[in-house]
């Protein structure tokens, strides 16, 4: 304990007052001196006869000099300081706990909003580096089917190496001075010590989290505690993220299946859907619509003609021109499509693609007769893509028009049937070779 | 000389805050303490600290009241007041704003954040 701290400690209001009272009780015939011989508390004395050391943590930090009772006063002061130092040490401990708690609250909050497993992993790695001494932090995932732990550039069998060992036992470990451990397998870089914790959900292993240092350092039980707590948080977050991604995948697969049902009934519609999707996405890119709208556009294009399943074969697959009556029946595919997807809440934001892709910019379309920007952008885009494909593909009763003639038709109707901006974007998409 | 005041009715909390901010004493900051609302007002009027960490939940006169009283005084407007409130308690943010506090922080606090904020406000970076 340095001199400065002793002087500071002694000058704190309460301590100072307390010592002053003690000295006063002794009629001020003794005083507290610093190592350098300056009076810190009490009155300067001429030729004090006694001199007792004040010792804290086995170091001399000052003196009590006076005419009598110096030894007793020194004892009182030593005791008081020891108490004070214990308090400070306890306070430090508590602050350390506060720090950890705050960090845990913090990471729980951050993790709870992440649904991308890659993001979760990089956040975990970042937080660990912040909280524990670590040169390398690795998250490895367990592939149940093959019994292998994998990360971007490493892989271990269960039971192999330190990570494999922890994965197998399910118990977190500190391995200081790894060279001495027989399980250690030398990797790409040299490490001195490592701590490792399993990532578990209930009793199922999903991976392993490890941190290591290159230079000599011994991990403590506290470090392992922090790692284990973070591992627990990480497991939940990662599992969540993967379940969500799995859900998304499953959902998309369902949407594609749904779309496929149309293709099976009517070959023309199948290929048409794929092409409309390609054209629509290209237009969306040129118009630089938001990521959210792009996603809506994609799903919307895939499902825009789903309602055709409600149109009878003899009308849908008719090879000659349609009568007015039959035409009205076909128009219903927009409303049918809406009804079909209305069961899926998640698809509620693509309803315009399905219901309104036959509206006209001038409001003379169907089924709702809405106009201009009141028509959702994804519907306006699909309208152009849809019409273009209808014109350019072969039908039983006529061959498809050429690209140039079809483009001319679109431009001729821009502002009336179609949104001018969308038609222009479509043209640009070809020029920019977004569509080949 | 910069001054910083810690106000909390619990001596242990005062000690923790004191411990957290101790290193600032080497940078010419005087750390003062008060254990209740009335004492806080007295100390503020007399010492005019630059920054006050003010506990909300105190008997007799709570943090909001202290804050309101201080902010009413013309020459004490630019004393920076940080309200300390227990996490999990429904902190009345509106009331906090109304009484004129500058920001609030929760207990248990992150010592690093407290120190960082103090440095920022006292311009000791």
| pLDDT tens-place string over residues A388-428 | 999 998 877 788 999 999 999 999 999 999 999 999 999 99
Measure CB to CB from residue B110 to each of A87, A91, A102 and give the nearest one.
A102
Q: Which residues of B touch A84 (CB under 8 A)?
A: none
CB < 8 Å to B16, chain A: 91, 94-95, 98
- Read off the DSSP letter of residue A399: P
CA distance A100 to A88: 18
What's the confidence (pLDDT) of residue B39? Answer: 93
Q: How many CA atoms lie within 13 A of A430 on its CB side?
A: 11
Q: Could B112 and A99 be called an inter-chain contact, meaning their C-beta atoms sit closer than 8 Å?
A: yes
CB A272, CB A262: distance < 8 Å: no
HSE of A90, CA atoms in CB hemisphere, 13 A: 9
Higher pLDDT, A262 or A275: A275
For residue B114, the distance in angstroms to the closest alpha carbon of chain A comes to: 11
CB A31 within 8 A of CB A25: no
pLDDT at B123 over 80: yes
Is the per-residue pLDDT at A96 higher than 70? yes
Distances (CA, A) of A305 to A255, A256, A269, A341, A352: 13, 13, 8, 11, 12
Task: Name the β-bridge partners of B34.
Answer: B7
Instruction: Check whether B112 has a pLDDT greater than 90.
Output: no
* Average pLDDT estimate for A269-285: 89
pLDDT at position B15 over 60 = yes
In the prediction, which pLDDT does A436 show?
Answer: 66
The partner residue sitting opposite A99, judged by closest CB among B12, B15, B111, is: B111
In this prediction, residues A274-291 reach a mean pLDDT of 94
Chain B contact for A104 (CB, 8 A cutoff):
no
Q: Which two tokens stand for residue A424?
A: 């222009």
A102·B109 Cβ contact <8 A: yes
Parallel/antiparallel/unpaired status of strands A148-150 and B80-86: unpaired
Confidence tier at A370 by pLDDT (50, 70, 90): very high
pLDDT at B86: 79
**Closest by Cβ to A88, choosing from B19, B108, B112:** B19
pLDDT in tens, A310-348: 888 888 878 778 899 999 999 999 999 999 999 988 899
Find which of A99, A108, A127 to mutate to test the B interface (most B CBs within 10 Å of its CB): A99
Residues on chain B touching A99 (C-beta within 8 angstroms) = 110-112
Q: Do A270 and A253 touch, CB atoms closer than 8 A? A: no
User: Whose CA is closest to A421, among A377, A358, A386, A387?
Assistant: A377
Task: Give tens-digit pLDDT for A69-88.
Answer: 899 999 998 899 888 888 88
Residue A238 has pLDDT above 90, yes or no: no
> Of A112-121, A150-159, A241-250, A356-365, which one has max mean pLDDT?
A356-365
**pTM exceeds 0.95:** no
Q: What is the pLDDT of residue B90?
A: 63
CB contact under 8 Å between B25 and A99, yes or no, is no
Res B119: pLDDT: 93
Residues B51-72: pLDDT tens digits?
999 999 898 898 889 988 888 8
Of the pLDDT bands very low, low, confident and very high (cuts 50, 70, 90), residue A269 is low
Is there a contact between B19 and A8 if contact means CB atoms under 8 Å apart?
no
Of A8, A88, A95, the CB nearest to B25: A8
**Within a 10 A sphere around the Cβ of A159, how many other Cβ atoms?**
14
d(CA A304, CA A316): 15
The distance of B74 to chain A (nearest Cα, Å) reads 30
- Give me the percent of chain A exceeding a pLDDT of 70: 98
Give CA–CA dist A368/A3, Å, rounded. 86
Percent of chain A residues past pLDDT 90, beyond the cut: 44
- Per-residue pLDDT tens digits for A179-229: 888 888 887 788 899 999 999 988 899 999 999 999 999 999 888 988 988
A105 neighbourhood in chain B, CB within 8 Å:
87
Give the minimum alpha-carbon distance from A2 to chain B in angstroms, rounded to a whole number.
14
Of A387, A385, A398, A379, nearest to A430 by C-alpha is A385
- Rounded to 5 degrees, what are φ and ψ at A45? -115, 145
Q: Cα separation of A347 and A251, whole Å? A: 10
Average pLDDT value over all residues in chain A: 88
Question: What is the reported pLDDT for A135?
Answer: 92
Please check whether residue A87 touches B, CB under 8 A: yes
- pLDDT bracket for residue A1 (50, 70, 90): very low
């Amino acid at each position: 304990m340095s001199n400065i701290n002793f002087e500071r400690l002694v000058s704190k209001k309460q301590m100072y007052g307390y010592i002053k009272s003690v000295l006063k009780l002794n009629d001020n015939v003794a005083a507290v001196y610093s190592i350098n011989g300056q009076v810190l508390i009490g009155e300067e004395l001429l030729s004090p006869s006694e001199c007792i050391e004040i010792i804290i943590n086995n170091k001399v930090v000052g003196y009590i000099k006076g005419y009598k009772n110096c030894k007793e006063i020194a004892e009182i002061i030593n005791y008081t300081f020891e108490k004070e130092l214990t308090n400070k040490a306890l306070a430090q401990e508590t602050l350390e706990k506060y720090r950890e708690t705050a960090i845990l609250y913090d990471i729980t909050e951050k993790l709870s909003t992440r649904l991308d497993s890659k993001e979760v992993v990089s956040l975990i790695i970042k937080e660990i580096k912040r909280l524990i001494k670590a040169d390398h932090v690795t998250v490895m995932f367990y592939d149940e089917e093959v019994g292998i732990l994998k990360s971007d550039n490493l892989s271990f069998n269960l039971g192999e190496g330190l990570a494999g060992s922890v994965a197998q036992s399910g118990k977190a470990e500190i391995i200081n001075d790894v060279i001495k451990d027989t399980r250690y397998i030398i990797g790409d870089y040299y490490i001195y010590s490592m701590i490792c914790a399993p990532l578990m959900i209930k009793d199922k292993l999903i991976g392993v989290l490890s941190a290591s240092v290159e230079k000599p350092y011994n991990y403590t039980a506290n470090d392992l505690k922090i790692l284990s707590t973070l591992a627990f948080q990480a497991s939940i977050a990662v599992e969540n993220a993967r379940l969500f991604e799995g859900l998304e995948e499953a959902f998309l697969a369902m949407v594609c299946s749904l779309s496929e049902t149309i293709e099976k009934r009517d070959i023309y519609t199948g290929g048409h859907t794929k092409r409309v999707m390609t054209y629509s996405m290209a237009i969306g890119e040129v118009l630089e619509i938001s990521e959210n709208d792009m996603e809506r556009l994609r799903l919307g294009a895939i499902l825009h003609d789903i309602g055709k399943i409600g149109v009878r074969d003899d009308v849908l697959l008719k090879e000659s021109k349609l009568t007015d009556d039959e035409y009205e029946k076909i128009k219903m595919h927009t409303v049918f499509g809406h009804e079909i997807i209305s069961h899926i809440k998640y698809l509620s934001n693509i309803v315009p693609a399905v219901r309104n892709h036959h509206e006209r910019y001038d409001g003379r379309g169907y089924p709702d007769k809405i106009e201009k920007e009141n028509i959702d952008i994804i519907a306006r885009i699909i309208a152009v893509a849809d019409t273009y494909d209808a014109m350019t593909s072969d039908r039983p009763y006529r061959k498809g028009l050429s690209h140039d003639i079809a483009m001319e038709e679109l431009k001729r109707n821009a502002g009336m049937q179609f949104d001018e901006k969308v038609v222009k974007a479509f043209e640009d998409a070809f020029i920019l070779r977004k569509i080949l | 000389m910069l001054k910083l005041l810690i106000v909390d009715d619990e001596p242990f909390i005062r000690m923790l805050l004191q411990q957290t901010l101790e290193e600032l004493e080497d940078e010419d900051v005087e750390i003062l303490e008060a254990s209740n609302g009335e004492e806080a007002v007295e100390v503020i009027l007399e010492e005019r600290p630059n920054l006050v960490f003010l506990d909300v939940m105190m008997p007799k006169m709570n943090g909001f009241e202290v804050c309101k009283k201080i902010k009413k005084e013309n020459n004490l407007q630019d004393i920076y007041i940080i309200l300390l409130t227990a996490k999990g308690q429904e902190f009345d943010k509106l009331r906090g704003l109304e009484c004129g506090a500058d920001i609030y922080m929760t207990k248990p606090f992150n010592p690093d954040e407290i120190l960082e904020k103090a440095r920022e406000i006292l311009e000791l970076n």
